[in-house]
C-alpha cells in the first residue's frame, strides 16, 4: 500500500520531515525523487539517521555523483533486463545494485536496521523511458523489497499536505496583512493611490475655474433669423433686402472710401443708378446691371455666396 504526502524534503526541512515520519507505528519505505540533484552523496543528518536505524528504508532517486568517462547513453544489465541510463555520473562504491566498470549508478547503504538505496539519475522511471519497461520494473522491485508500507513524496508533482499549505500560504486576507511588513503595505497603498489619480485624470494643484464664453446676442439673433428664413425657403425675400442694402451702401458711402456717388439716401430708378455709376467709374455697367437684374435671383447657398462676392467687388471699384 502506497501513501502520499507533500512535505518539502530538502535542506533544512529534512529534520522536520523525518520527525513526522518517525510517528508511524511500523517501519516504512520512503520513495523520494529529487528533480534537482543536490551536491552531496550518502550524507545523512541526525534525524534521518535515527529514523533509518529503526528499520525504515529510503529510496533516494536523484543524488550527486562525480562525472565519469562512461558514455552518456548506456544500457546496463540487471535481473530485470537492460536498464537505459542517460548520464555519465558514477559513484565508486562496493555495494553496487546497478553499474559498470566506471562505478555505480544505483547502490545500497546499510544504516543499522535500515538502509538507503541511492540512484544517481532522477529520471530512472520517468516518462522519457516509456520504451524501456525494465527501468520501471527495477524501481518497483527496489521499492517493494522489505514488505513494508510504501510512502511516496508527491511534493514534486504539486501535492501538498494541508499543514504544509497552511504554513506556506496565509489562510485569509487578514492573516496576510498580519504577516506583511508595514513598508510593503505602505507601498501597496501608494500604488493604489497613484492608480486612482491616473484613472481620474487629475493633476495636483488648485482647480482652474472655467470662464464662460461671452455671448454675442446680435450674432445669436442673426443666426436664429437666418435659420428661420432658411427653413421657410425665403430666398427671394433675403435677396431683395440684401440688394436694397447693397444699393444704399453704393449711393451713400463716405468720401474716405472713395465710393460716394453723391445720390443721397433716396432710392433711384435702376437706369438712373446705372448711368451715374458708369459715369463716375468709367467702366461698363454690365456687372452692376447683372446684380440688379431681378430675374437672376440666386436659388441656393452657393449662388448666394457668389452673388455677395460680386457685390463686394463692385463696392470696391473707385469713383471719381
pLDDT one-digit tens code per residue, 198-257: 776 656 566 678 888 777 778 888 788 878 877 777 777 777 877 778 777 777 654 333
**Cell numbers for 311:** 457685390
Question: How far apart (Å, rounded) are the C-alpha atoms in residues 132 and 273?
Answer: 118
Residues 52 and 151 placed together within one structural domain of the fold: yes
> Cell numbers 534537482 correspond to what residue?
36
- Looking at the structure, do residues 143 and 263 belong to the same domain, yes or no? no
Q: Is residue 179 part of a domain?
A: no
Which of these three, 139, 168, 197, is where a domain ends? 168
> Stretch 52-56: mean pLDDT, rounded?
87
DSSP letters spanning the chain: -EEEE----SGGGHHHHHHHHTTSSS-EEEEEE-SS--S-SS---HHHHHHHHTT-EEEEES----B-SS-SEEEEEETTEEEEEE--B-B--SSEEEEETTEEEEEEEEETTEEEEEES-TTTTSGGGTT-HHHHHHHHHHHHTTS-EEEEE-GGGT---HHHHHHHS-SSHHHHHHHS-HHHHHHHHHHHHHHHHHHHT--SSPPPPPPPPPP-HHHHHHHHHHHHHHHTT-HHHHHHHHHHHHHHHHHH--GGGT------SS---HHHHHHHHHHHH-S-SHHHHHHH-TT----SHHHHHHHHHHHHHHHHS---
Same domain, residue pair 305 and 245? yes
159 & 249 share domain: no
pLDDT of residue 254: 41
Do 247 and 134 share a structural domain?
no
Return the pLDDT at 108: 92
Better pLDDT: 102 or 17: 102
CB 156 within 8 A of CB 9: no
Return the pLDDT at 157.
Answer: 64
Give 210's strand partners.
none
Please tell me whether residues 272 and 129 are part of one structural domain. no
pLDDT of res. 40: 53
Instruction: Identify the domain containing residue 141 by its residue range.
Output: 2-168
pTM confidence score: 0.49
- The mean pLDDT value of the chain amounts to 77
pLDDT reading at 137 higher than 90? yes
Arithmetic mean of pLDDT, 183-190: 83
Number of domains in the chain: 2
Total count of residues recorded for the chain: 320
Kindly state whether residue 200 falls inside one of the protein's structural domains.
Answer: no
pLDDT at 314 over 60: yes
Domain identity same for 64 and 145: yes
pLDDT per position as a tens digit, 57-69: 999 898 888 999 9
**Domain-embedded: residue 134:** yes
Q: What is the pLDDT of residues 255-272, one digit of tens each?
A: 333 345 555 566 667 777
- Measured between alpha carbons, how far is 161 from 8 in angstroms, rounded to an integer? 10
Same domain, 18 and 141: yes
Amino acid at each position: 500500500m502506497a501513501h502520499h504526502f507533500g512535505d518539502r524534503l530538502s535542506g533544512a526541512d529534512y529534520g522536520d520531515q523525518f520527525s513526522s515520519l518517525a510517528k508511524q507505528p511500523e517501519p516504512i519505505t520512503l520513495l523520494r525523487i529529487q528533480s534537482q540533484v543536490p551536491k552531496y552523496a550518502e550524507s545523512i543528518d541526525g534525524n534521518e539517521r535515527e529514523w533509518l536505524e529503526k528499520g525504515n528504508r529510503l529510496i533516494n532517486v536523484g543524488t550527486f555523483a562525480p562525472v565519469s568517462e562512461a558514455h552518456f547513453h548506456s544500457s546496463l544489465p540487471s535481473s530485470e533486463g537492460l536498464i537505459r541510463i542517460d548520464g555519465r555520473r558514477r559513484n565508486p562504491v562496493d555495494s553496487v545494485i546497478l553499474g559498470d566498470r566506471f562505478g555505480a549508478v544505483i547502490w545500497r547503504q546499510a544504516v543499522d536496521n535500515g538502509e538507503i538505496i541511492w540512484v544517481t539519475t532522477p529520471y530512472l522511471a520517468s516518462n522519457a523511458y516509456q520504451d524501456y519497461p525494465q527501468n520501471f520494473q527495477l524501481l518497483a522491485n527496489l521499492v517493494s523489497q522489505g514488505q513494508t508500507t510504501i510512502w511516496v513524496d508527491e511534493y514534486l508533482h504539486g501535492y501538498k499536505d494541508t499543514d504544509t499549505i497552511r504554513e506556506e500560504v496565509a489562510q485569509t486576507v487578514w492573516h496576510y496583512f498580519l504577516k506583511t511588513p508595514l513598508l510593503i503595505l505602505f507601498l501597496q497603498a501608494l500604488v493604489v493611490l497613484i492608480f486612482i489619480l491616473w484613472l481620474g485624470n487629475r493633476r495636483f494643484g488648485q482647480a482652474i475655474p472655467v470662464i464662460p464664453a461671452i455671448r454675442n446676442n446680435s450674432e445669436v439673433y442673426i443666426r436664429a433669423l437666418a435659420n428661420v428664413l432658411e427653413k421657410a425657403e425665403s430666398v427671394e425675400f433675403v435677396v431683395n433686402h440684401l440688394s436694397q442694402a447693397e444699393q444704399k451702401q453704393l449711393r451713400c458711402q463716405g468720401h474716405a472710401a472713395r465710393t460716394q456717388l453723391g445720390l443721397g439716401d433716396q432710392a433711384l430708378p435702376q437706369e438712373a443708378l446705372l448711368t451715374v455709376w458708369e459715369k463716375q467709374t468709367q467702366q461698363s455697367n454690365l456687372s452692376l446691371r447683372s446684380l440688379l437684374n431681378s430675374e437672376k435671383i440666386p436659388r441656393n447657398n452657393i449662388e448666394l455666396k457668389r452673388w455677395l462676392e460680386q457685390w463686394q467687388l463692385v463696392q470696391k471699384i473707385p469713383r471719381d
